[in-house]
């Protein structure tokens, strides 16, 4: 059994300026997974940099409100929204609320820094 608590995960800023804590990444732990699983935060009024991943990604919004942009298409998101981001798509998310925008990121195959390209 492998259990990891969020408080035990090191916080870092990803290339797109998202504050992340990776809970599971099979490239860093010996886990039989294809995907990585991370907790993400964007401050009120903040926005991630436009970027693309070579891999597919899913966001699941836990708290706050925002506007998701994928390949120039914009949609409002709120808690309970699941967002599929196809590989190679230009993407960013903006916090449109007064509290942190908090979401889960699942990247398949697992996230690697070299698979991310910042576009701005």
Q: From 62, 63, 120, select the one nearest 91 (Cα to Cα).
A: 120
**Contact indicator for 90, 117 with CB cutoff of 8 Å:** no
Look at the chain and report how many structural domains it folds into.
1
What does the pLDDT read at residue 29?
A: 87
CA 17/CA 118 separation, integer angstroms: 10
In a domain, 113, yes or no: yes
Q: What is the pLDDT of residues 84-100, one digit of tens each?
A: 999 999 999 999 999 99
DSSP 3-state of 7: helix
Neighbours of 53 (CB within 10 A): 20
What does the pLDDT read at residue 37?
A: 97
Q: Give me the domain span that covers residue 72.
A: 9-118
Q: What is the pLDDT of residues 17-65, one digit of tens each?
A: 999 999 999 988 889 999 999 999 999 999 999 999 999 999 999 999 9
Domain CATH code at residue 76: 2.60.120.10
């Amino acid at each position: 059994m492998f259990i990891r608590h969020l408080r035990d995960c090191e916080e870092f800023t990803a290339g797109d300026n998202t504050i992340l804590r990776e809970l599971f990444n099979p490239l860093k732990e010996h886990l039989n997974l294809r995907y990585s699983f991370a907790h993400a935060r964007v401050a009120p009024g903040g926005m991630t940099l436009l970027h693309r991943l070579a891999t597919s990604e899913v966001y699941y919004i836990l708290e706050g409100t925002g506007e998701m942009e994928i390949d120039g298409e914009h949609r409002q998101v709120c808690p309970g929204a699941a967002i599929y981001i196809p590989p190679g798509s230009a993407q960013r998310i903006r916090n449109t609320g007064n509290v942190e925008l908090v979401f889960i990121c699942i990247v398949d195959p697992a996230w690697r820094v070299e698979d991310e390209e910042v576009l701005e």
